[in-house]
Amino acid sequence: MKHPFCLMLFFISSLLLTSCNNDDNANDSTDNLPNVSGYPIVDTGTTSFYSNTAIIATPSVGQAFYGQDASYSGNQPAYTNNNDGTITDHVTGLMWAQDMGDKITFDAVKTKAANATLGGHTDWRVPTLKELYSLILFTGKVKGETAITMFIDTHYFNQPIGDVSLGEREIDAQVWSATEYVGKTMNNVETVFGVNFVDGRIKGYPKYKPATGAANTMYLRMVRGNSDYGQNNFVDNGDGTISDLATGLMWQKADDGVARDWETALSYSESLTLANYTDWRLPNAKELQSIVDYSRSPQTTNSPAINPLFQTTEINDPDGNPGHYPFFWSSTSHLDGVNPYTTAVYIAFGEGLGKMNGILMDVHGAGCQRSDPKSGNSADYPQYFGPQGDVQYVYNYVRAVRTISK
């Protein structure tokens, strides 16, 4: 048996060694982070079911509105508050800044991240759009410009709203990503994608305000950890399907060229048999956004913003001009408006078109995430909505997905 004094020395030495090891590892990119690689998609958090106009009881297989987001459960959000201003995401292997500080320009975001020592770490970076979008939850709710429930878990993350005393709208709390749009919006404006966790959308934001030329300012939520996150690993299976080995999802290679309302899109996906698989479904918003290729755009590659392994129907824009691409439905409802149950999320793989001052243009960028009414008379659409005159098609396209069995 060891002498008590020796045990005391051993205990003190162990503490010192642990302290030294912690100091040595303070800047290591893997310390205090779960061992996660690849691109696991975090679930949207949605558990309620909706028709075109209301909350409904849980639909059964074969019933109307079965196959929407809440019908399927993915990787549930799992966070730890490290009590040092950082939050660890156990699904993605990413660590986040809990707070965002003041709004800053895009030119300043890289400098801020590079100089940060939050939580004793010095390997902070500006998140890519796919990293940032991993945090979104579609349990949020907004009513036009009025914030109601945030589209992020506010138990862990501090999420301000716009300062109305300064003339801002409550939804003016947009967050920069590192993903610059390869095209231009508003005819010729340099644009960076960002996520708005107050109104639950992705769009391209101008680096400089078009009206004044002054640098635009938005929030930055820094990230560190899993550098593989957001990188796809596509394999063409040669049977009309494409597997993403990074996310564990299999995709319909080509859309079928048919525009549908939301309910019909759900039914089509649930009934699809492709490559001898019958477990196809309409992807949720985060699954669908995972296959956007932000290095591509109609303006720069004459293609939709998706890997060229996929085939996408070309359409005319509302003015009849060719060379455009449809919006694609997700299974996720977007709670906005006087009746918050009437719209569902889409991803624009082509330009995010809007009509401003009578001119149709790319106002949000290829790869934006917006929402359309779930139903309507096809003869009445497209219509234009909101301050940027967003094109509303209502009858959107489908790219079905299934989970690859392990």
27/120 Cα distance (integer angstroms): 7
Q: pLDDT grade, residue 21 (50/70/90)? A: very low
353 burial type by CB count under 10 A (0-12 exposed, 13-18 middle, 19+ buried):
buried
Claim to verify: residue 294 and residue 376 sit in the same structural domain: yes
Cis, peptide link before residue 373, omega less than 30° from 0? no
What phi and psi, each to the nearest 5 degrees, are found at residue 243?
Answer: -95, 140
Q: What is the pLDDT of residue 89?
A: 98
pLDDT > 90 fraction of the chain, expressed in percent and rounded: 91
400/330 Cα distance (integer angstroms): 9
pTM: 0.92
CA angle 150, 153, 156 (to 5 degrees): 130
CA-CA distances (angstroms) from residue 290 to 24, 27, 264, 348? 36, 29, 23, 13
**pLDDT tens digits, one per residue of 177-228:** 999 999 999 989 999 999 999 999 999 999 999 889 999 999 999 999 999 9
CA angle 266, 194, 381 (to 5 degrees): 40
Neighbours of 302 (CB within 10 A): 9
Q: Considering the domain boundaries, does residue 35 fall inside one? A: no
Cis, peptide link before residue 210, omega less than 30° from 0? no
Q: What is the pLDDT of residue 223?
A: 98
Claim to verify: residue 258 and residue 363 sit in the same structural domain: yes
Please, what is the average pLDDT of the chain?
Answer: 93
* Per-residue pLDDT at 18 exceeds 70: no
Claim to verify: residue 199 and residue 245 sit in the same structural domain: no
Tokens representing residue 206 in the block:
């101008």
Claim to verify: residue 247 and residue 214 sit in the same structural domain: no
Tell me the torsion sign for CA atoms 25, 32, 289, 269.
Answer: positive
Beta carbons of 44 and 69 less than 8 angstroms apart:
yes
Which of 203, 225, 247 is where one domain is finished? 225
Q: CA 116: distance to chain centroid?
A: 25
Tell me the torsion sign for CA atoms 94, 98, 103, 108.
Answer: negative
Q: What is the pLDDT of residue 31?
A: 74
Which of 193, 225, 257 is where one domain is finished? 225
Claim to verify: residue 236 and residue 87 sit in the same structural domain: no
The domain total for the chain is 2
CA-CA distances (angstroms) from residue 384 to 222, 318, 373, 398? 35, 10, 12, 22
Claim to verify: residue 286 and residue 370 sit in the same structural domain: yes
Q: Report helix, strand or coil for 32.
A: coil
Claim to verify: residue 259 and residue 341 sit in the same structural domain: yes
Determine the structural domain holding residue 323 and report its residue range. 231-403
Q: What is the pLDDT of residue 11?
A: 34
First-to-final CA distance of the chain: 51
Claim to verify: residue 216 and residue 269 sit in the same structural domain: no
Q: Considering the domain boundaries, does residue 169 fall inside one? A: yes
Section 6-21 average pLDDT: 36
Neighbours of 41 (CB within 10 A): 24
The amino acid at residue 223 is V
Section 283-287 average pLDDT: 99
Beta carbons of 175 and 74 less than 8 angstroms apart:
no
Q: pLDDT grade, residue 156 (50/70/90)? A: very high
133/79 Cα distance (integer angstroms): 15
Which of 167, 194, 225 is where one domain is finished? 225
* Per-residue pLDDT at 3 exceeds 50: no
